[in-house]
Amino acid sequence: MKKTDQEKTRRNAAVALKYDGSGAPAVSATGQGALAEEIIAIAREHGVPLYEHPELVEILARLDLGEEIPDMLYRVIAEILAFAFHLQGKSPDDFR
């Protein structure tokens, strides 16, 4: 089965979010291709948990750098952050 250009783009994209415990998470980096690979490599180097979800990346990549996530994504991003905290043995209180 041949991959479409859209499927290839989705697979080669990355978005990084920053969350400091106040306000909503915001986009801190976004890229495709080699830049996406670099974002992922930096995250791995720093022990940042990765979550793969092409449709979510596609939505988040439309946001500007520094822009907070939209209300419609609060719940899904909160669940991902909670899981990432759990994987690291942390809780949101550890960031205050």
Label residue 90 by pLDDT band (50, 70, 90). confident
Give pLDDT tens digits for 38-68.
Answer: 999 999 999 988 999 999 999 999 999 999 9
The model's pTM is 0.77
CA distance linking residue 95 with residue 25, whole number of Å: 13
What's the number of domains the chain is made of? 1
Domain of 64: which CATH number? 3.40.1690.10
Max CA pair span of the chain = 49
Domain that holds residue 19: 5-95
% of the chain exceeding 90 in pLDDT: 60
Label residue 9 by pLDDT band (50, 70, 90). very low
Assigned token pair, 45: 């180097």
